[in-house]
Amino acid sequence: MAPSVSEIQEQPAPQKVDVIQQLKGTVKKEVPQPPAPARARLEKAGINYNEGYPFYPDKPKYKQDVAEIRAEERGYVDPGTRADPEKKALFGAAKEVRNLTRHIGTEIVGLQLKDLSDKQKDELALLIAERTVVFFRDQDLSPQEQKKLGEYYGVIEVHPQAPQVPGVPGVSLIWDEAQRHLGDPKRASYLNDRNFRLAYPSGSYGWHTDLVHEPYPPGVTHLHQDSVPEVGGDTLWASGYSAYDKLSPTFRKLLDGLNGIYRSAHAYLDKENPDAPPSFVERVHPLVRTHPVTGWKSLFINRAMTVGIEGLDKAESDAILNHLYDVYERNVDIQVRWHWTPGTSALWDNRTSIHTVSWDYEGEFGRHGTRVSSLAEKPYFDSKSKSRREALGLGP
């Protein structure tokens, strides 16, 4: 059982330790130790957080090199396609299954993710495909076990520059304190300047989808939070299925078959023009994609990293995208808001959602967690696929 927040707060403040990182231009700097529940989890997993924590890989220099990471052709079969539609193995073993809203979000009570059978994992994949995000509290889960589960759902994304758990490649660290001290200088500056009035860059609210510049973006993404504030720091998800269903039939027909242009979160130098300022990796994917398990159509856009629509002028593209962002971000009936407790896991479908964090805790308590992203199929659009409401007979 994860410790309570009150127990965490009673423990002594963490000491700062000296860490030598393998990041170009970075030498010896002081980094605070992880919060108490994170330290307990890491110690139990045999991970040394006193030296070389977190691990930073050598940042790639050129965007052409980043574009080739995991770009090899490969097939993908979603485990959800093998699942029992009634999910008897998964639901039968749970103490309770709670749908949190009509359209998105389910909590499963009484199961440990590390103990799931393959049949239960397949059924969980189907549930995530249908409900977009599934939550499990009170998880006794090491970073190694989290990675093993992620490998069941696809090739693990090993981020080329994000902080990672040492010795467990593919387990990225969600911990702003590390980024403030040893991360990318631009990211560190943003975090240090972040405040109540501008929790996110002006004009945006943090909504995004992970790794859309990848040729095979993630399917299931798994975030385990071992340290969270007692109040605040909630995460919100919105349903891409339902955002698509919010559009008029005529507008849907306009969007079907169009391609979006997506960029990386980080900028890199250009081999062909190394003196130019850093720029982003760009990738083309369908603006509306078909989910391989449900067969439902979903918007595949996000304000942070969708930069245009292929074949349209900027003014035309901006007008359409800004309307789609508003539909996706502002319709609260297609969203779920989750309050974390220590030891909670969220597994969501990155193909059919956007998410953001509420920064109402204002950085006063360090959120610390680990993320594993399982890469899925190359995004595609099937003209014969249906929307969620159409497929379920829910009407207009």
Least confident of 35-39, 112-116, 197-201, 310-314: 197-201
Least confident of 134-148, 243-257, 264-278, 311-325: 264-278
- Nearest one of 223, 276, 360 to 62, comparing CA atoms: 276
Task: Report the chain's mean pLDDT, rounded to a whole number.
Answer: 88
pLDDT value, residue 179: 62
Backbone angles phi and psi of 111, in degrees to 5: -120, 145
Asked if residue 21 has pLDDT above 80, the reply is no
Please tell me the distance from the alpha carbon of residue 337 to that of residue 355, in angstroms, as a whole number: 10
The percentage of the chain sitting over the pLDDT mark of 90, rounded to a whole number, equals 71
- Nearest one of 41, 32, 216 to 146, comparing CA atoms: 41
Residues 154-180 as b or e (16 or more Cβ within 10 Å = b): bbbbebbbbbbbbebebbbbbbbbbbb
pLDDT value, residue 396: 77
Residue 51 neighbours by CB distance under 10 Å? 10
Domains along the chain with CATH numbers: 71-392 (3.60.130.10)
Q: Which residues pair with 308 in a beta bridge?
A: 261
Please tell me the distance from the alpha carbon of residue 259 to that of residue 354, in angstroms, as a whole number: 18
- Nearest one of 53, 16, 47 to 163, comparing CA atoms: 53
Average pLDDT over residues 324-329: 97
Q: pLDDT category, 367, cuts 50, 70, 90?
A: confident
Sign of the Cα torsion 143, 149, 150, 156 reads positive
Please tell me the distance from the alpha carbon of residue 255 to that of residue 232, in angstroms, as a whole number: 37
Please tell me the distance from the alpha carbon of residue 294 to that of residue 383, in angstroms, as a whole number: 14
Triad 355, 360, 364: Cα angle to 5°: 115
Asked if residue 117 has pLDDT above 70, the reply is yes
Average pLDDT over residues 132-156: 98
Q: Which residues pair with 155 in a beta bridge?
A: 375
Q: What is the pLDDT of residues 41-82, one digit of tens each?
A: 999 999 999 887 888 888 889 999 999 988 899 999 999 999
Strand stretches in 102-240, DSSP E: 106-109, 133-136, 155-156, 172-174, 218-227, 235-239
pTM of the model: 0.89
pLDDT value, residue 189: 60
- Nearest one of 134, 114, 142 to 370, comparing CA atoms: 142
Please tell me the distance from the alpha carbon of residue 238 to that of residue 302, in angstroms, as a whole number: 11
Strand stretches in 92-245, DSSP E: 96-99, 106-109, 133-136, 155-156, 172-174, 218-227, 235-239
Q: Which region, left, alpha or beta, applies to residue 148 given φ > 0 means left and ψ of -120 to 50 means alpha?
A: alpha
Q: Which residues pair with 339 in a beta bridge?
A: none
User: Residues near 193 by Cβ (< 8 Å), separated by ≥ 6?
Assistant: none
Q: pLDDT category, 109, cuts 50, 70, 90?
A: very high
Q: What is the pLDDT of residues 255-291, one digit of tens each?
A: 999 999 999 988 999 999 989 999 999 999 999 999 9
Please tell me the distance from the alpha carbon of residue 278 to that of residue 274, in angstroms, as a whole number: 8
- Nearest one of 116, 338, 380, 376 to 220, comparing CA atoms: 376
Please tell me the distance from the alpha carbon of residue 347 to that of residue 260, in angstroms, as a whole number: 25
Q: Alpha helices, DSSP H only, in 226-381?
A: 240-245, 249-255, 314-330
Q: Is residue 283 within 8 Å of residue 262, measured between CB atoms?
A: yes
